[in-house]
Amino acid sequence: MAHERLLPRQYMILGLVAICAPLGDACLSRGMTSLPAISVLHPLTLIAAVFTPWIALGIALLIGFFASYLTALSWADLTYVLPATAFGNVIIELLSRLWLHEHVSWQRWLGVILITVAVGFVAQGPSLTVHPEEAPAEEEARA
Amino acid sequence: MMTAANPWAGAAMIAAVVLSSTAGEVLTAAAMKSVGDLDEIRARSGLKGAIRAVITCPLFFAGVFFLALAFFSLLFALNHLNLSLVGPAAASLTVITNSIAAKLFLKENVDRRRWTAAALICIGVYLLAH
């Protein structure tokens, strides 16, 4: 399991994974709460909701998340990418403190610190497991 | 809410979310590994080539199927259980099951560093939800 450090472009992709999902969820939440209650008897109103600005922005961000998530999985292990998705929780917490000026309890700050430490822990290690049968082909490609 | 009345049903709903989500994540990861580095494919054959490489991989659709199943299982669970229970329980258990599944099925080298990170994320998610 030896692999060079990620390129700046690849760190940027992981950053997009961490940022796009919480921002997308926040936009969907903002859009859905601003709409009147939708009844299960009128499901078509959900389709109309898709075209409202906040929900459309939320969907665009979630498409961006899925595209960057798939890209990250194509060159990194699932267990390497997972902490990046968990880091989205930290971003939500920071946004709620800095942008919405909400009170964040010490338990939540502790949660933020633990997830940040976990991300730092994994980021220090190799990003991809190279299986012995793949190693010669990879060396050949590098040469 | 079902939590107090029937804890086994609640546990089964959370298990359904966690298992379908894990299956979806692992199948999607396996699909992307079989496709290869998307950045390289995009540089070689453009965005269309990269999209074609992904959507012609059957494993990718199996992954998306299970991710969709996880989404609807979550909606069903939220219909019966509190968000404050389902959210953190599903999020933290999924981190653990994904690490186990990645080791077993994707043969990833989940070393002590990654296990520690998974445990820290579990505790962190729990603390954020409370």
DSSP code string of chain A: ---PPPPHHHHHHHHHHHHHHHHHHHHHHHHHHTSPPPPTT-THHHHHHHTSHHHHHHHHHHHHHHHHHHHHHHHS-HHHHHHHHHHHHHHHHHHHHHTS-----HHHHHHHHHHHHHHHHHHTS-SSPPPTTTHHHHHHHH-
C-alpha–C-alpha distance, residues A21 and A3, integer Å: 27
Q: Which of A2-6, B40-44, B105-109 has the lowest mean pLDDT?
A: A2-6
What are the boundaries of each domain within chain A?
Answer: 8-142
Q: Do B125 and A93 touch (CB under 8 A)?
A: no
* Distance, CA of B130 to chain centre: 22
Q: Is residue B97 part of a domain?
A: yes
pLDDT of residue A40: 67
Instruction: Give mean pLDDT, residues B49-64.
Output: 93
Q: Is residue B64 part of a domain?
A: yes
pLDDT of residue A65: 93
- Domain ranges, residue B40: 7-128
Confidence of residue B35 (pLDDT cuts 50, 70, 90): very high
**Which among B36, B38, B110 has the least Cβ separation from residue A79?**
B110
- The counts of H helices and E strands in chain B are 5, 0
A70 in contact with B at a CB cutoff of 8 Å?
yes
Q: Is residue B116 part of a domain?
A: yes
Per-residue pLDDT of chain A (143 residues; tens, 9 = 90+): 445 578 899 999 999 999 998 888 888 877 877 877 777 677 777 788 888 899 899 999 999 999 999 999 999 999 999 888 888 878 878 877 777 777 888 888 898 899 988 888 888 888 888 777 665 555 555 54
A9 in contact with B at a CB cutoff of 8 Å?
yes
Q: Do B95 and A75 touch (CB under 8 A)?
A: no
**Which among B54, B107, B114 has the least Cβ separation from residue A131?**
B107
Structural domain total, chain B: 1
Q: Do A77 and B102 touch (CB under 8 A)?
A: yes
| Apex A11 CA angle, A21 and B60, nearest 5 | 55
Q: Is residue B81 part of a domain?
A: yes
Task: Count how many Cα atoms sit within 13 Å of the Cα of residue B115 in the half-sphere of its side chain.
Answer: 6
Q: What does the block give as tokens for A21? A: 């999902």
pLDDT of residue B5: 58
Q: Are A62 and A23 in contact (CB under 8 A)?
A: no
Which residues on A lie below 8 Å from B95 (Cβ)? 82, 86
Residue whose structure tokens are 């950053």: A15
Q: Is residue B2 part of a domain?
A: no
